[in-house]
Chains A and B, each alone.
Chain A
Amino acid sequence: MNQLPITVKKRKNRGDGAWGYAFIAVALVVYALFTAYPVASAFIISFQKYKPLGSTFIGWENYAETFQDSLFWKSLRNTVVYTVLTVPVGLLISFSIAILILPLKKFLQTTFKAIYYLPAVASGVTLSVVWLWIYDPLPAGILNQVVHFFGGSNQNWLGASATAMFSLVLMSWLSSHGTAIIIYLAALLGIDDSYYEAADLDGATFLQKIWHIVIPCLKPTTLFLFVTGIIGSFQVFQNAFLMTGGGPDNATTMVGLLIFNNAFKYFEFGEAAAQSLILAVIIAGISLIQFKFLGKDVEY
């Protein structure tokens, strides 16, 4: 009855081959057509000076230009800063909230889940209008009024290099947990009570149960959220695009925005393709490290 899955012995299955391919067939076809093919095109384009009426092959030039571009390095640094500040903290917030929601009555659980999920429902464009107002730089601005209340001085939130990045991070902390909370809660509800019962018998405290049962059991979930969070964060572009346009002084220009600008503003489609492939390699590298460290005892 109380057999723990962690102790389940991995057994080599035989004869799954045909079944395995059958189960992934549709996914593979869709992937090949709508993802692999465009990516392959992008790969080819990255070696071209792209023109709709006939591109010319220019070898590694797009890559060379990217590596010499100081703005590319600056945007990469900004992206890393943004990711480091948003993803781990964001996961911690989501995890804590999911844990806090757990003991509540069903009705309250649903209500809180719905509330935290709400910002994801509304379109980002609409919400950014509101956030612009919150960050109003004049003393009448909402956040500035809050700061005044606590005795601080007026801040030019999105307009000053010192606070612009922080403002985007704060926005992410307060408005993008819905998905992670729901996924965490679903995973929490999936943990079998028998673990807790066993722990209770041993007289474990609340924190011990979190540490020894919840965190290990949620490892696949955390890994998933972490990897997808970092991938998303590295590609982030909308908030910077809508709220600061990358400014001031490129303090919030991130790689996603730079690629977008190259592709659409300057028609440097080849360079944009090269930059996104470089970005993809970086993300892939980071993901690999995450799998290595976080995924050590997760079964694949």
Chain B
Amino acid sequence: MKRKLRVLASIMALTLSVTSLAACGSSKGDSSPSPSGSASASGSAAPSGEKDTITALLPPVSPTYQDNFAQMEKEFNALYPNLTLKIEPASWEDMSQKLDTQVNAGSPPDIAFIGSGGIAKYVDQGMLMDITDSVTPDMVSDFDPLPLEYMKNGNSLYGLPAYMEVHAIGGNKQFLEQAGIDWKKVQQEGWTYEQFREAIKKGVVTENGKKRYGFVFATAGVASRDYLTILVKNAGMPDPFTSDLKYAYTSKNYLEVLKAVRQMIDDGSMPKELSSVDAGKRWNMFLTGQTMITGKGLAVFENSAKKNNAKIDANDGSAVKDSIKVDYVVLPVPSFLGQPPVSSTVVDGYVTFRGKKEPTAEHKANVVKAAYFLASGKVAATTNNDLFAAHITKSAKEAAKSMTIDRNPDNIAAVDVMLSHAAKPRPDIPTDKAAQAIKLEDEVIIPKLQALLANEIKPEAMYEAVKAAAIKAFGEDGVVKD
């Protein structure tokens, strides 16, 4: 079956996400991929079969990821001589629009690297390939069950996960200690919103005419989605839908979170210009000592901070201007109203697509082989180390043993604690409801949140607007009433 990878495209780069990626940034891979890493564990028998080409549309998952494409193609072909893996690189920003044009034209690639949150949308279009019957038990048992669950919709499996990351917040160790915050305890036990509010109040300091804020979260433009999502998960609303499929954001708890959003700004703990602080800006503020805590925080930020510290030591003008040395401390998001903490997790992975023609069983099996090759073993080990992300397959853990990585053990422990209460995947949410919720978020929640952050509306007004839109979309009985 000949297929061409159709690269799509997008004119526009979301500058916002450029900068947000930038902040998730990392850099020239420190964790050098070790050639001695064990090969993919999948390599079972040399398959005899017809020639087949599998196309994969892949973004720069990690800083060194795209450099290894040629190597990956070669190794895959060595493993399965009759199969060719054709990788088409794409930027993160173009990914979705590229893929969407291909999907709309009925000719997507076999595999695309996307977030698990996008699965419902493509299932709704009928363009995903169900691989439930094509994955072997060996493959399934290699994965941690939770991330694998994220790749499901209904009872069907639509791809294999690459990593599960926690969206947390991060602090400046020295400033935290100055403010008398026992960060180690917080890492282990978490904190409530009330404790957090006090802590960030104490974090506000004016030194040499320069103001330092307690907390700065990137909320400019579309990034505002992250902020609210992370907070509401810890207020008893881990998902937009409750377990009986009612829309959750009409709950009173939601209003309380909105009030807290305003409170932290009104306290002076967060800048009043928060609504246009983007990811790049707040990372700059963090490195230059203008904030004690920043969000969202990913494990890999520890690495970015370390690098800048090294540049300050080198004193060659390459460090961020006015930056100070920073020890990055991973911190959990506070919980609201006595609700249990639920970490906001992101599972991204290799999702399998189908074209206009019904795929043959053989082609399906080949696509699964390719997806598994990418999602496990050495490829996964290298990538996740690059990202400071935890390994989610046994084979990757095995392969990673020979790779060295320099991480702060306290931060590793903190991430483990958060992963232990990661949000549960929700394959039971019907695709049309999920799509409606996304539209409601884009057209009502985010715009109103921007207005709330800019102090143009009150939390109550936003809450009412969300409630009205939710009732319109899901009906009086389709929403939570408490």
Tell whether any CB of A sits under 8 Å from a CB of B in the complex.
yes
Contact check: which of A50, A51, A53, A249 meets B447 at CB < 8 Å?
A249
> B97 — which chain A residues lie within 8 A by C-beta?
264
**Residue among B220, B274, B453 having the largest count of chain A Cβ atoms under 10 Å:** B220
Contact check: which of B13, B105, B448 meets A249 at CB < 8 Å?
B448
Interface residue A95 (Cβ < 8 Å from any Cβ of B): no
Chain B residues within 8 Å of chain A by Cβ, number: 49
CA distance A158 to B453 in the complex (A): 12
CA distance A264 to B124 in the complex (A): 14
Contact check: which of B13, B14, B16, B447 meets A248 at CB < 8 Å?
B447
Interface residue B371 (Cβ < 8 Å from any Cβ of A): no
B258 CB to closest chain A CB (Å) equals: 14
- Interface hits, A133-164 → B, CB 8 Å: 135-138, 154, 156-161
- Interface hits, B431-448 → A, CB 8 Å: 435, 438-439, 442-443, 446-448
Interface residue B127 (Cβ < 8 Å from any Cβ of A): yes
CA distance A138 to B105 in the complex (A): 44
Stretch at the interface among A77-85, A238-246, A289-297: A238-246
Is the Cβ of B125 less than 8 Å from the Cβ of A247? no
> A246 — which chain B residues lie within 8 A by C-beta?
447
Is the Cβ of A266 less than 8 Å from the Cβ of B15? no
Closest to B221 in A: A245
Is the Cβ of A52 less than 8 Å from the Cβ of B18? no
Is the Cβ of B356 less than 8 Å from the Cβ of A264? no
Is the Cβ of A249 less than 8 Å from the Cβ of B281? no
> A247 — which chain B residues lie within 8 A by C-beta?
221, 224, 446-447, 450
Contact check: which of B12, B100, B271, B442 meets A125 at CB < 8 Å?
B12
Is the Cβ of A242 less than 8 Å from the Cβ of B275? no
Closest to B13 in A: A125
> B12 — which chain A residues lie within 8 A by C-beta?
125, 237-238, 241-242
CA distance A88 to B39 in the complex (A): 65
> B19 — which chain A residues lie within 8 A by C-beta?
129, 132
Interface residue B46 (Cβ < 8 Å from any Cβ of A): no
**Residue among A137, A159, A243, A264 having the largest count of chain B Cβ atoms under 10 Å:** A159
CA distance A128 to B13 in the complex (A): 10
Is the Cβ of A52 less than 8 Å from the Cβ of B104? yes
Is the Cβ of B442 less than 8 Å from the Cβ of A265? yes
Interface residue B475 (Cβ < 8 Å from any Cβ of A): no
**Residue among B15, B96, B275 having the largest count of chain A Cβ atoms under 10 Å:** B15
A255 CB to closest chain B CB (Å) equals: 14
CA distance A160 to B453 in the complex (A): 9
Closest to A128 in B: B15
CA distance A132 to B221 in the complex (A): 12
CA distance A51 to B18 in the complex (A): 31
Is the Cβ of A160 less than 8 Å from the Cβ of B11? no
Is the Cβ of A51 less than 8 Å from the Cβ of B126? yes
CA distance A160 to B456 in the complex (A): 8
Is the Cβ of B222 less than 8 Å from the Cβ of A245? yes
Closest to B450 in A: A248
B interface, over-half SS: helix
A263 CB to closest chain B CB (Å) equals: 8
> A265 — which chain B residues lie within 8 A by C-beta?
442
Q: Quick one: given A154-B273, A244-B221, are A52 and B100 in contact (CB under 8 Å)?
A: no
A155 CB to closest chain B CB (Å) equals: 9
CA distance A272 to B67 in the complex (A): 38
CA distance A51 to B127 in the complex (A): 9
Interface residue B121 (Cβ < 8 Å from any Cβ of A): yes
Interface residue B103 (Cβ < 8 Å from any Cβ of A): yes
B434 CB to closest chain A CB (Å) equals: 11
Interface residue B454 (Cβ < 8 Å from any Cβ of A): yes
Is the Cβ of B275 less than 8 Å from the Cβ of A159? yes
CA distance A53 to B104 in the complex (A): 9
Q: Quick one: given A242-B13, A245-B222, A269-B104, are A137 and B276 in contact (CB under 8 Å)?
A: yes
- Interface hits, B10-62 → A, CB 8 Å: 11-16, 18-19
Closest to A262 in B: B439
CA distance A267 to B121 in the complex (A): 8
CA distance A107 to B356 in the complex (A): 60
Interface residue B145 (Cβ < 8 Å from any Cβ of A): no
CA distance A249 to B221 in the complex (A): 10
- Interface hits, B86-103 → A, CB 8 Å: 96-97, 100-101, 103
Is the Cβ of A161 less than 8 Å from the Cβ of B454? yes
**Interface 0/1 of B113-138, CB less than 8 Å to A:** 00000000100111100000000000
B184 CB to closest chain A CB (Å) equals: 32
Interface residue B381 (Cβ < 8 Å from any Cβ of A): no
Interface residue B278 (Cβ < 8 Å from any Cβ of A): yes
> A269 — which chain B residues lie within 8 A by C-beta?
104
Interface residue B151 (Cβ < 8 Å from any Cβ of A): no
Interface residue A261 (Cβ < 8 Å from any Cβ of B): yes
Interface residue A182 (Cβ < 8 Å from any Cβ of B): no
Q: Quick one: given A71-B443, A160-B454, are A53 and B276 in contact (CB under 8 Å)?
A: no
Q: Quick one: given A136-B281, A245-B16, are A250 and B273 in contact (CB under 8 Å)?
A: no
CA distance A136 to B273 in the complex (A): 9
Is the Cβ of A160 less than 8 Å from the Cβ of B15? no
Contact check: which of B15, B126, B276, B281 meets A156 at CB < 8 Å?
B276
Is the Cβ of A248 less than 8 Å from the Cβ of B125? no
Q: Quick one: given A52-B356, A125-B13, are A267 and B100 in contact (CB under 8 Å)?
A: yes
Is the Cβ of B126 less than 8 Å from the Cβ of A53? yes
Is the Cβ of B276 less than 8 Å from the Cβ of A157? yes
Sampled A-B contacts (7; CB under 8 Å): A132-B15, A135-B276, A159-B274, A247-B221, A247-B224, A267-B104, A267-B435
List 20 extra interface pairs beyond A132-B19, A266-B438, A266-B442, CB under 8 A: A50-B104, A51-B125, A52-B106, A52-B126, A53-B127, A128-B15, A132-B278, A137-B273, A138-B281, A154-B273, A159-B273, A161-B456, A246-B447, A248-B450, A248-B456, A249-B450, A253-B447, A264-B100, A267-B104, A267-B125
